[in-house]
Amino acid sequence: MTTSVIEATATHPAFQQLADGVFIHRDALTESAKALLTPDAVALLAEMARAFEPTRQSLLQARQYRQADYDAGKVPAYGDRNSTAVQGDWRVAPLPADLKKRRVEITGPVNSTKMVINMLSRNSDGHRADCAMLDFEDSMKPSWTNVVDGVHNFLGAARGDLRHVEPARGDRPEKVYQLNADDMALVMVRVRGLHLDESNVVVDGNPVSGGLLDLVLTWFHGAKTLIARNVTPKYYVPKVEHHLEARWWNDLFNRLEAALDLPTSTLRATFLIETLPAAFQIEEILYELREHAAGLNVGRWDKIFSDIKTLKFHPDRVMADRASIGMNRPWMNNYAQRLIQICHQRGAAALGGMAAFTPGRDAALRQKQTEKVAADKQWEADMGHDGCWVSHPYFIGTAMSAFTQDNQLEVIPAGDKYPDLLPQGSGPRTLEGLRTNARVGIAYLEGWRRDIGCIAWDNLMEDLATLEISRAQTWQWLHHKVTLDCGTPVTADLIRRIFDEELARIFDELGPHADRDSWHKAHHSACELFTADSFQPFLSMASDLAGPLR
């Protein structure tokens, strides 16, 4: 959506007015959307957009200035060690009872009713996660239909009556999925990041913040429903880069509580520390959120992407194969330990990262995956995390076995609060790693074309974060003309050849029923993205329009 179109929204035939200064794309105003965009909800959305959009734009511009400095050779660094945030005697608001046990959290796209019910319910082994994060961000493509379906699914989860029916097909009978309100995980919502625009709703000539829209609609329609069931309204916020961004969100939380005549600290939020700049400001970010903080999360996958993106032009920090970068790398271990130390000193929960496996097709592979998940989660528990994430219900029980207490808030890791957090350039850098990146790029963008934001691929759950790692790493290797461990230099021609070979391999695996046109288009898009002359900060900065600009 171009600036000229946005500015002319009041007269453009593709948009219609919802309220004074508020317009929506005509194709977005479905019956399902109308049920959410009530006059009072639209009024609150407009009020929040007008109050917070100017500062959001300033914060996004500040990101660009900082990145320009990093691109010129600077690196992120710690701030003032004598500030009130660092030296002050403060703690976060006391945690509500239902946020003191978060041993295993499961996450997935909020738009899939079936997946939401499965995340909130017990698996086939009888295990249930403590919390389920219903995601508007990395695992969901932000198409308008997905966003609207997501809000409705959240509201069904908030009520505890969400239901999904899969009709009978052939020999397969009808199957009903029904949420059990008396035995379900704690409902949480992850909103979109600060950088993402919602193109379908415009206020005073500007597209609204996607995260603000997610937050306003779920809060306005769902907060009191949750409270009536004695459930804390709980959010996740992704991709924060600076403590002033945390202040922006905290101010928004305050305004939303006031709008519903609810006391401060009713809304609680966990922020993902998943960018390299944020890792240097953990205490400052938590300080800004202290009235609303539930905890912080070690978002390992987006953090790896941010490490590469932030220092992409630094020749001494060219990263290894993505599969070889784990929490055992010194800078990753240091950042996790620092997060736990600060959170527990200040009374907040410290959540670990994602086990991204999807269960393999044979018993031997599933056993190997289970052993890896068990080792990873035991490492996190031993370090002092209060809980962790899984991406598939199959691994809930395995992950849960590592966390034998409700929480570990009393565990404060020893060590320097200011460790070295800068990633180090190293190997391995392999042809197989390049092939993995290409396969993920093709497969993810093929799903993206179909409005899918996460895919089960090669026994892993690949979401936007892992797509971003794959394309950032490939781009960085190409930019720095890396020579792989096998002696082959990384060139654009090599990358294109690898993409062609991997597409052919995918066709062999999928067989004759694959939609070859869709896969060819995804292959072309991924190859162009991975070899672009300039690095694109994110795959997407705005949602797609619900329909054409007629």
- List residues with catalytic annotation: 190, 463
List all residues 6 or more positions away from 158 whose beta carbon is below 8 Å from its beta carbon.
Answer: 187, 222, 225, 226, 229, 231
Residue 124, both tokens = 């086939």
The pair phi, psi for residue 388, each rounded to 5°, is -150, 180
Dihedral angle at the C-alpha atoms of 137, 135, 325, 127, nearest 10 degrees? -170
Bridge pairing between strands 234-237 and 268-273: parallel
Residue 546, both tokens = 């619900």
Q: How far is residue 546's CA from residue 144's CA, in Å, rounded to a whole number? A: 6
153, 178, 150, 185: which is closest to 163 by C-alpha?
178
How many Cβ atoms from other residues are within 10 Å of residue 427's Cβ?
14
Dihedral angle at the C-alpha atoms of 432, 458, 532, 538, nearest 10 degrees? -130
The pair phi, psi for residue 414, each rounded to 5°, is -75, 170
- CA dihedral sign, ordered 186, 448, 279, 208: negative
Q: Helix 144-159 and helix 113-120: axis angle, to 10°?
A: 40
392, 365, 174, 131: which is closest to 268 by C-alpha?
131
426, 428, 374: which is closest to 401 by C-alpha?
374
Residue 29, both tokens = 């105003």
Is-contact 482 308, C-beta < 8 A? no
